[in-house]
Amino acid sequence: MRVLGIDPGLTRCGMGLVEGDVGRPLRLVDVGVLRTSASEPVAVRLVTIERGIDAWIDEHRPDAVAVERVFARSDVSTVMGTAQASGIALVAAARRGLPVALHTPSEVKAAVSGSGRADKAQVGAMVTRILRLDAAPKPADAADALALAITHIWRGGAQARIDAAVAASRSRTPAGTRPRTVTGPAPARRRA
């Protein structure tokens, strides 16, 4: 599975592509940051981000896109820019029919470091270790994008298998019937 992780931001939008499967070593494919200038109008900055994301998707052909879920901070202008960049990422992926997943910052931190309260340095160190890199990707937006991709492979891949199994079991159920559900305690076992 090849996942493009996107850490949305209006000034810096982290992009990280990771390849691998659950239970196997993951591999860094590419990492970078799309940058826009605060002196440009917001609409122009969003077009720059859109073109950058489109180029990454066209070049790398990911199987899925993982985007950081926007959460409220005290600085409303930061939240607005992040939300706008996030929307661009969602549209770029959806336009190509790619599956898109949103992961919260604490979910990503917990997945890669074991703690939902890990700081940026801890996340960067764990991304470096997981991907067997010589140094942590800089800036932190790049490491965060890779952490999103890792999280999606580890968690999203498992969820995709569960969803596929549920869909397969539904398709095996005869039309017009419902699967039998057993409730109550399990029958007692006799000891020999």
- Structure tokens, 141: 């937006």
Q: Cα(130)–Cα(117) distance, rounded to whole angstroms?
A: 18
7 is catalytic: yes
Residue of 7, 19, 50, 144 with catalytic role: 7
Q: Is 68 a catalytic residue?
A: yes
- Tell whether 68 is in a known binding site: yes
107 is in an annotated binding site: no
Question: Would you call 19 a catalytic residue per the annotation?
Answer: no
Residue 7 annotated in ligand binding: yes
Given 19, 50, 141, 144, which residue is catalytic?
141
3-state per-residue secondary structure call for the chain: CEEEEEECCCCEEEEEEEECCCCCCCEEEEEEEEECCCCCCHHHHHHHHHHHHHHHHHHHCCCEEEEECCCCCCCHHHHHHHHHHHHHHHHHHHHCCCCEEEECHHHHHHHHHCCCCCCHHHHHHHHHHHCCCCCCCCCHHHHHHHHHHHHHHHHHHHHHHHHHHHHHHHHHCCCCCCCCCCCCCCCCCCCC
Per annotation, catalytic residue among 30, 68, 75, 144: 68
Catalytic residues: 7, 68, 141
Q: Residue ranges for the binding site?
A: 7, 68, 141
Q: Residue ranges for the binding site for Mg(2+)?
A: 7, 68, 141
